[in-house]
């Protein structure tokens, strides 16, 4: 910060590319993000490529072009910079300035997401340097790993309530069943990356979704992992579609597009709802959700439109900048692949609205398979939601 104005040397930089050539795309996205600046080994470059790239050659090219900055990131359903959305790659250059960063990775989550998260967050914090007054942790995980709530629980066991958590679960293009995470020169397919942000001034996190309940309350009477088998003692798919006025033709297997506009809201103790999208309709009458829902939970069908979803993104951005001691120098944004479907042709309105709230400073992010945002308390896994980290 210089005389109350943003210092161009510490302002974030973003790059975005649609190029299909790995080497060309990597060079373009890094050079645009750097905008002529020379990075240091204290800086970070976040990158969010789609699985359309050969990840090994693409990440290698990113690291070569961004050196000596550390490259971290994960695969994406899509990504964005400002109001531009791409199926290629977005990069966000984060100069350290007066912050310091710790980076750690876990190559295999296996069946112990909690333990892996606890370990990787602990190592990231230890590597972030001498403790400064404010800290946040960014988590990037494998979106197919299992119960993502365990990632938050493991992280929380280390951070406690005073450190904010934010981030997203790595995603893939619609036809792929594998995601990638990368950091410290390693590319993983069932991994987790933690980035500890150590700052002398406040760090802001905001989260909101914009979905509202429209259905009658239902009780989850049988579930297994991420599959709802019974609602109110009846097959979950039957009860769900009855409230929608009938089952669409061919509504089995991968969820039809219409269902993406009617997620399930899980009631919380605060009177709000955590959103879970239906991703598959089981032939046995179950609903496979993007996120786990426990038995005994009260759920309702939710509805959202472009106006309300975009307004929620604005609120998340406002909440993220509220605690900052000075104008934001940039932001990372984690939005859900389900919001991409719900917003349709208006998808670019969401990052544009966030940019307007932030005063036009650089922002970039990706469409995830689930979002992390915990500001207070131990919960913090979301779906169909947008989370914003502002520095």
> Are 140 and 60 contained in the same domain?
yes
> Are 152 and 140 contained in the same domain?
yes
> Are 256 and 322 contained in the same domain?
no
Percentage of the chain modeled with pLDDT above 90: 76
> Are 200 and 233 contained in the same domain?
no
Give the total number of structural domains in the chain: 2
Q: Could you read off the pLDDT of 94-121 as tens digits, one per residue?
A: 999 999 999 999 998 988 999 999 999 9
Q: Could you read off the pLDDT of 239-253 as tens digits, one per residue?
A: 999 998 887 655 554
Q: Could you read off the pLDDT of 41-80 as tens digits, one per residue?
A: 999 999 999 978 999 999 999 999 999 999 999 999 999 9
Q: Could you read off the pLDDT of 291-350 as tens digits, one per residue?
A: 889 999 999 999 999 999 999 999 999 999 999 999 999 999 999 998 988 899 999 999
State yes or no: pLDDT of 377 exceeds 90: no
> Are 179 and 80 contained in the same domain?
yes
Residue that terminates a domain, selected from 303, 324, 350: 303
In a domain, residue 6? The reply is no
> Are 282 and 228 contained in the same domain?
yes
> Are 120 and 266 contained in the same domain?
no
Q: What is the mean pLDDT of residues 348-360?
A: 95
In a domain, residue 3? The reply is no
In a domain, residue 99? The reply is yes
pLDDT of residue 248: 65
Residue 219 · residue 296 · CB < 8 Å: yes
Residue that terminates a domain, selected from 303, 320, 344: 303
> Are 231 and 329 contained in the same domain?
no
> Are 102 and 247 contained in the same domain?
no
Residue that terminates a domain, selected from 303, 333, 352: 303
Q: What is the span of the domain harbouring residue 221? A: 212-303
Q: What is the pTM assigned to this prediction?
A: 0.93
């Amino acid at each position: 910060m210089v005389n109350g104005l943003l210092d161009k040397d510490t302002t974030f930089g973003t790059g975005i590319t649609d190029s299909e050539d790995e080497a060309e795309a990597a060079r373009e996205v890094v050079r645009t993000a750097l905008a002529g600046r020379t990075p240091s080994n204290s800086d970070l470059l976040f990158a969010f490529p789609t699985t359309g790239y050969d990840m090994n050659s693409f990440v290698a090219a990113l690291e070569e072009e961004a050196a000596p900055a550390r490259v971290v990131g994960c695969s994406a359903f899509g990504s964005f910079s400002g109001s531009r959305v791409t199926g290629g790659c977005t990069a966000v250059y984060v100069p350290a300035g007066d912050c310091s960063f710790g980076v750690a990775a876990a190559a295999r989550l296996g069946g112990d997401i909690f333990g892996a998260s606890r370990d990787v967050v602990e190592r990231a914090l230890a590597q972030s340097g001498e403790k400064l007054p404010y800290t946040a942790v960014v988590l990037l995980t494998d979106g197919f790993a299992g119960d993502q709530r365990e990632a938050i629980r493991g992280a929380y066991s280390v951070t406690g309530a005073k450190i904010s958590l934010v981030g997203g679960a790595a995603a893939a293009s619609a036809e792929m069943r594998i995601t990638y995470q990368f950091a410290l020169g390693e590319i993983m397919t069932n991994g987790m990356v933690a980035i500890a942000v150590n700052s002398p001034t406040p760090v802001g996190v905001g989260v909101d979704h914009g979905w509202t309940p429209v259905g009658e309350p239902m009780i989850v009477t049988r579930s297994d992992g991420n599959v709802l088998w019974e609602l109110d003692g009846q097959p979950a798919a039957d009860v769900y579609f009855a409230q929608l006025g009938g089952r669409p033709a061919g509504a089995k297997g991968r969820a039809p597009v219409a269902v993406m506009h009617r997620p399930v809201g899980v009631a919380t103790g605060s009177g709000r709802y955590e959103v879970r999208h239906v991703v598959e309709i089981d032939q046995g009458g179950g609903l496979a959700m993007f996120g786990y829902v426990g038995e005994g939970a009260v759920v309702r069908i939710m509805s959202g439109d472009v106006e309300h979803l975009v307004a929620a993104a604005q609120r998340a951005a406002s909440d993220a900048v509220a605690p900052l001691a000075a104008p934001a120098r940039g932001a990372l944004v984690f939005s859900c692949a389900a919001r991409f479907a719900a917003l349709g042709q208006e998808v670019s309105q969401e990052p544009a609205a966030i940019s307007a709230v932030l005063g036009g400073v650089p922002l970039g992010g990706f469409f995830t398979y689930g979002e992390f945002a915990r500001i207070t308390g131990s919960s913090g896994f979301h779906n169909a939601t947008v989370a914003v980290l502002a520095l």
